[in-house]
Amino acid sequence: MKVRILIFISVISFLLGGCSENRDGNTNPSTQSTTSKINNEATVSTTQTTEVIESNVNSSIMAYGFQAPNDIYNHLIVTGSMKVIDTTKGTETRGQEYLYNHGYHSVSASDTTNSSQSYVLEDSATLPNGRNAYGKLIYFYFWCNDEMKQRLEDVVIDDDVIFFEATEEYLESITQLLNSPVPAQTQIDLDIDAINNGDFTTLVGTWVNGLGDRLIINTDGTTNIGYTLHSVKDSDITSKIPYASLSDGMSGAALGLYTIGFENPDGDNSDITKPRLTIAQQGGSYPADSYYYRQ
């Protein structure tokens, strides 16, 4: 009887020892497999989530560290306030004018109802920019969506592409252009005596004022605005400002002639280091943007 009791106690002790080893040493194969699977799945899930977040952030960060307003307006576009993006030329607002004439309009970033015809202005002072002779900004920046970007990339006016994506490289090129010294240009001054006698050689060419109005004068005195130029004998003697006559047969105006260094005696708001023209019905002090400069 005693022998049976001892054997029974030994069996119980063996079983209890085995259970304790499984509990304390985690030697259960099934438990190890389950734990490993959970840990691996958690690691994969965390990695994938991190990759998605990083991907989204990288896709929205633009040149110069700018971040797109949202996932819709995600392309930063730059256009010049001139025919060609060049700080030494003209004042035509080609890019903005094109947007206006083709039904595009500025909206807030939260307005995505018609994003294919809308854009969001970007007027940050950290973007490279400058001002032309009339005090107007040279470059115009805005955000647009994929569809609008693709359409604008195909816009060509007078053989010039006028819309560009503002990549880091392109913005750097603008910065270099703005910081480059403007080469001195030989100015062809107006020959008042010749003009008074019907020789318009020094007037021939394209002239543009600060409002973007263009005046093209041909050798024979015809112009692009429907008026013809006529000489006025001794205009520099009979008038405070030398002039020629513009007429279409029904109406007319005076074309004021300003040689380099000559100032409007009634008050001058122009750049007197260049030859200038004005179109007016009477004398006076004219606004700066009413003066035409040769292009």
| pLDDT tens for each residue of the chain, 295 residues long | 444 444 444 544 544 454 444 444 444 444 444 444 434 444 444 334 333 333 333 334 455 778 899 999 999 999 875 443 333 333 345 788 889 889 999 999 999 999 999 999 998 888 998 876 556 678 889 999 999 999 999 998 777 788 999 988 888 888 888 887 755 556 789 999 999 999 999 999 999 999 989 999 999 999 999 999 999 999 999 999 999 999 988 889 999 999 999 999 999 999 999 999 999 999 999 999 999 999 8
**Is 257 found in the same domain as 203?**
yes
pLDDT of amino acid 218: 93
Q: What is the pLDDT, as a whole number, of residue 114?
A: 94
End residue of a domain, out of 142, 157, 179: 179
173 shares its domain with 204: no
Q: Three-class SS of residue 34? A: helix
Whose CA is closest to 280, among 218, 216, 215, 217?
Answer: 215
Considering the domain architecture, whether residues 17 and 36 belong to the same structural domain is answered as yes
Q: Is 56 exposed, middle or buried (0-12, 13-18, 19+ CB in 10 A)?
A: exposed
Q: Which of 45, 60, 75 is the endpoint of a domain?
A: 60
- Residue type at 57? V
Contact in structure between 105 and 91 (CB atoms under 8 Å): no
- 208 contacts 214 by C-beta, under 8 angstroms: yes
CA distance 245 to 249: 11
For residues 124 and 170, membership in a common domain is answered with yes
Q: How do beta strands 205-209 and 292-294 pair?
A: antiparallel
CB 72 within 8 A of CB 112: yes
The DSSP annotation for 144-206 comes to E-HHHHHHHHT-EETTEE-EEE--HHHHHHHHHHHHSPPPP-------HHHHHTT--GGG-EE
Residue 249: inside a domain: yes
Q: What is the pLDDT of residue 31?
A: 43
Q: Which of 60, 82, 109 is the last residue of a domain?
A: 60
Same domain, 8 and 100: no
Q: Which domain holds residue 243?
A: 192-294
- The residues near 222 (Cβ < 8 Å, ≥ 6 apart) are 228, 229
Residue 105 forms part of a structural domain: yes
Tell me: do 174 and 77 sit in the same domain. Answer: yes
Which residues have C-beta within 8 Å of that of residue 46, sequence separation ≥ 6? none
- 184 in any annotated domain: no
Q: If DSSP codes are grouped into helix, strand and coil, which group holds residue 230?
A: strand
Q: Per the domain annotation, does 185 fall within a domain?
A: no
* Residue 39 resides in a domain: yes
Tell whether 168 and 74 lie within a shared domain: yes
Of the candidates 129, 118, 130, the one whose C-alpha atom is nearest the C-alpha of residue 69 is 118
Q: Do 160 and 213 fall within a single domain?
A: no
Helix (H, G, I), strand (E, B) or coil at 80: strand
Cα dist. 117→100, 102, 105, 165, 190 in Å? 10, 9, 7, 17, 46
Answer yes or no: do 102 and 140 share one domain: yes
User: 165 and 222 share a domain?
Assistant: no
- With contact defined as beta carbons under 8 Å apart, do 57 and 74 qualify? no
| pLDDT at position 222 | 94
Say how far apart CA 105 and CA 92 lie, in whole Å: 19
CA separation for the pair 44, 237 (Å, rounded): 90
Cα 44 from chain centre: 42
Count of structural domains within the chain: 3
* φ and ψ of 254, to 5 deg: -100, 135
Alpha carbons 207 and 183: distance in angstroms, whole number = 20
Does residue 140 share a domain with residue 83? yes
187 found inside a domain: no
Is 146 within a domain?
Answer: yes
H/E segment holding residue 69: none
In the prediction, which pLDDT does 246 show? 95
What's residue 116's pLDDT?
Answer: 94
Q: What is the pLDDT of residue 254?
A: 96
Domain identity same for 116 and 197: no
pTM, to two decimals: 0.47
